[in-house]
Structure 1
Amino acid sequence: MSGPLDGVRVVEIAGVGPAPFAAMLLADMGAEVIRVDRVDAIEQSPGMDDPRFRIPERSRLSVAVDLKSPEGAEIVLRLAGTADAMVEGFRPGVAERLGIGPDECRARNPRLVYGRMTGWGQQGPLSGRAGHDINFISVAGALHPVGLAGQPPVPPVNLVGEGGGGMLLAYGIVCALLEARLSGAGQVVDAGIVDGAAVLLSTMLGMRAAGTWNTERGTNTLDSGAPFYGTYRCADGEYVAVGAAERHFFDRLLETLGVADDPRAAGNRLDPGRWDAMKECIAEAFAARSRAEWMAVFDDVDACVTPVLSLDEVAGHPHNRARGTFLDIEGVVHPAAAPRFSRTRTAAPRPPAAPGRDSADVLRAAGYTHQQITGFVERRVVVCQDRTAGPVIDRTGGRTPC
């Protein structure tokens, strides 16, 4: 087997953000994912960017279809008819207008799990509005706590929105697939980025309810307010991350830094009134040596001190190398598939496909003839990207224009 989802077929309508990320997670776990790229998107970007760099689109087959044509919509419906799940990331109502909404798809395949990824969800006063990660997580409450005291909120790049939303959709699809095996019926999975970000706030919401979390950012134990949980600048301008939250880790930190006897480090580490002095003391110590020097000092010390690595450094870290956390695929650093399984191990991800690379293969597998495929290409219902191996040879002996 090539992963726990081996044998599961997914149709993905190409998009951006968390929807392709969710499809990547499913493909990483062994699902066969067919990505339906839009013909108009290819025509608007002649030559396309190098597909190797679109990591969230890895391990897919790609067929390029004109979704605005009735024939193109029919191709999607035929693909949905043999799939276990479908993924789309349109605004609410768009898939229905194209004729590939959940009702149309599930009429062809009642067992189909239809996954919908949006920013705001399918209902609510903002459901039809545009937005990006920063907007969705701001309304979810996940942006406000991120940042330093007295400073504006800092966008956590797209990790919380795209990551939270994409994982929510992938999780929802797998849950619905499990249920469909028992009931024999599919269903619609409504995944909103705002919902995914809200779920990630569970711990903070509990702390707030208990009165142990302040709404003023940068003043709490886990948001850089405390001296034992934050980052410190070293002599070379690089940073270390400190997570010495427990007393014994904090004591070890102070001892290793050589500041255990400094009056500024004395007192109750949980007393916010002592935090500024403690941070000043620790910051001065770290600033005296380079990051590499401090990592050598802390190499055998269990004090929760680690280097803050850049994207250019992560693949070379000894721990990441030992676990194979990152892979080199055609000269591009990829994260390895995660999590890991003892029996149904996942295969190495495949490079992202150029849009339309597999159009002929996908259509033939769906039952279309050589003549039909040729007609689709001539009418621009389907686009085929050139292959380095030349034209595809049809089983009947004909040569497709792909």
Structure 2
Amino acid sequence: MLQGIKIVEICGIGPGPFCAMHLADLGAEVIAVERGSEGRVNLLNRGKRSVIADLKTAEGRELVLRLIEDADALVEGMRPGVMERLDLGPEVCQARNPRLVYGRMTGWGQHGPMASAAGHDNNYAALSGALFHNGTPDTPPSSLFATLGDIAGGALYLTIGLLSAILNARTTGKGAVVDAAIVDGSAHMLQLMLSTCNVGYTTGQRGQNIHDSSPFYATYRCADDGFITLGSIEPQFYALLLEKLGLQGDARFTTQWDRKRWPEQRQHFTELFASRPRAFWCALMEGTDACFAPVLAPHEAAEHPHLVARETYFTRDDLLQTRVAPRFNNQVVTPGAVPQAGEHTAQIQAALDAHASVWQRA
């Protein structure tokens, strides 16, 4: 879908490379400018071409400037000011290519009192308010491994910003600087949760919300130490859950939204689900409107019949990977290969020296 869009990525860690990979998954041409030695393999480089360059040298900087001459966007994830000190900031790059979209991926953003401080996705999600309700009242708010901050609050917001600015540049001829801060994206995601305050699903305190105190929207441990999830919020789904569990008509469960009963109900569910292995509960409720699913590790998810039918996972070179998302016209797309670091340096340098298009694959 993104064929013809050209991206130069100044490689970093986490959300920037994921964003560039996602664009490559969807058909964009991506050249990853990497530091360090050749031969390393990074799954986030799939579908890209890789060149090695030292941006602290004049040759490395000129390579980047030549690459962006015909590019739609540049992606970088350095701390604020680093690219400027390398003479590769937005002003320099857009002087070479006025329609270039300059995508900046950071945790704290390009300005603000904490802009220059180090951090990771859990720090950004914590400060934004996104981590506060994650977990139960009896445990500290738990971090979600890179998904809440780096990917959801970071990479996906950078992707949307880049594509929006590229569309604008194609009609106006003028590029833009996209300031994608994880703290901003994580906060923006809370708009849905904030809307639930109006209907009483969410309060200002942990342990007083449907996701951290109700019995019908929760995670439970099974007899084999596997876990299952319930999400039976709507009355018809809650009624089916009680039917499946043999609790229809039980006076303890007839009033779903009596919060005073929730601790007792949750304790009963805890003991009930702990009495049988996960497979038992899957056989009883999976695929029904009880809003049920097991908690699966990625290798288990890859073998689940639903995800097998959708071909969500695949294995290449003994490495488990996920396929392209979203899908268009119900087609399953297998993403490009994962290059070794620097694999395309000679090819791209030769094209530049010959004044040929660096975007033409060999």
TM-score, normalised to structure 1, is 0.84
Deviation at 1:209, TM superposition (A): 6.3
Alpha carbons of structure 1 residues 346 and 183: separation in structure 2 relative to 1, 3 Å = farther
1:228-268 deviation per Cα after TM superposition (whole angstroms, max 9, x unaligned)? 101111111111110111111111111111222444323x2
Deviation at 1:206, TM superposition (A): 2.6
SS at match of 2:252: helix
Counterpart contact for 1:28–1:346, Cα < 8 Å? no
**Which residue matches 2:146?**
158
Residues 1:320 and 2:317 are matched in the alignment: no
**Which residue matches 1:225?**
213
**Which residue matches 1:352?**
338
Alpha carbons of structure 1 residues 263 and 61: separation in structure 2 relative to 1, 3 Å = same
Q: Counterpart of 1:252 in structure 2: which amino acid?
A: L
Q: 1:17 is matched with which residue: 3, 9, 14?
A: 14
Counterpart contact for 1:259–1:282, Cα < 8 Å? no
- CA distance in structure 1 between the aligned counterparts of 2:51 and 2:187, rounded to whole angstroms: 35
**Which residue matches 2:358?**
none
1:78-103 deviation per Cα after TM superposition (whole angstroms, max 9, x unaligned)? 00111111100001110011111111
- CA distance in structure 1 between the aligned counterparts of 2:175 and 2:215, rounded to whole angstroms: 50
**Which residue matches 1:174?**
163
Alpha carbons of structure 1 residues 100 and 368: separation in structure 2 relative to 1, 3 Å = farther
Counterpart contact for 1:30–1:347, Cα < 8 Å? no
Counterpart contact for 1:30–1:346, Cα < 8 Å? no
Q: Counterpart of 1:107 in structure 2: which amino acid?
A: A
Counterpart contact for 1:330–1:351, Cα < 8 Å? no
Q: Counterpart of 2:15 in structure 1: which amino acid?
A: P
Residues 1:204 and 2:193 are matched in the alignment: yes
Corresponding residue pairs, total: 356
**Which residue matches 1:119?**
107
SS at match of 1:227: coil
Residues 1:79 and 2:76 are matched in the alignment: no
**Which residue matches 1:147?**
135
**Which residue matches 1:215?**
204
Counterpart contact for 2:125–2:149, Cα < 8 Å? yes
**Which residue matches 2:247?**
259
**Which residue matches 2:348?**
362
Counterpart contact for 2:34–2:342, Cα < 8 Å? yes
**Which residue matches 1:269?**
256
Q: 2:52 is matched with which residue: 44, 47, 64?
A: 64
Counterpart contact for 1:241–1:305, Cα < 8 Å? yes
- CA distance in structure 2 between the aligned counterparts of 1:15 and 1:28, rounded to whole angstroms: 18
Counterpart contact for 1:229–1:242, Cα < 8 Å? yes
Counterpart contact for 2:100–2:174, Cα < 8 Å? yes
- CA distance in structure 2 between the aligned counterparts of 1:165 and 1:15, rounded to whole angstroms: 13
Residues 1:286 and 2:283 are matched in the alignment: no
Q: Counterpart of 1:113 in structure 2: which amino acid?
A: V
Deviation at 1:202, TM superposition (A): 0.6
**Which residue matches 1:341?**
328
Mark the runs of 5 or more structure 2 residues left unpaired by the alignment.
356-361
- CA distance in structure 1 between the aligned counterparts of 2:282 and 2:75, rounded to whole angstroms: 44
Mark the runs of 5 or more structure 1 residues left unpaired by the alignment.
370-394, 396-402
Counterpart contact for 1:241–1:308, Cα < 8 Å? yes
Deviation at 1:132, TM superposition (A): 0.7
Residues 1:241 and 2:194 are matched in the alignment: no
Residues 1:94 and 2:82 are matched in the alignment: yes
Residues 1:134 and 2:83 are matched in the alignment: no
- Over the aligned positions, Cα root-mean-square deviation in angstroms equals 2.0
- CA distance in structure 2 between the aligned counterparts of 1:136 and 1:173, rounded to whole angstroms: 21
Alpha carbons of structure 1 residues 261 and 207: separation in structure 2 relative to 1, 3 Å = closer
Tell me the percent identity: 45
Counterpart contact for 2:286–2:293, Cα < 8 Å? no
Report the structure number with the largest CA radius of gyration. Answer: 1
Alpha carbons of structure 1 residues 66 and 346: separation in structure 2 relative to 1, 3 Å = farther
1:115-157 deviation per Cα after TM superposition (whole angstroms, max 9, x unaligned)? 0101111111111111111111111001111111132111122
TM-score, normalised to structure 2, is 0.93
Counterpart contact for 2:132–2:141, Cα < 8 Å? yes
SS at match of 2:59: helix
- CA distance in structure 2 between the aligned counterparts of 1:218 and 1:23, rounded to whole angstroms: 38
- CA distance in structure 2 between the aligned counterparts of 1:199 and 1:300, rounded to whole angstroms: 32
Alpha carbons of structure 1 residues 232 and 322: separation in structure 2 relative to 1, 3 Å = same
Q: Counterpart of 1:28 in structure 2: which amino acid?
A: D
Counterpart contact for 1:250–1:303, Cα < 8 Å? yes
Deviation at 1:350, TM superposition (A): 2.1
SS at match of 2:7: strand
**Which residue matches 1:104?**
92
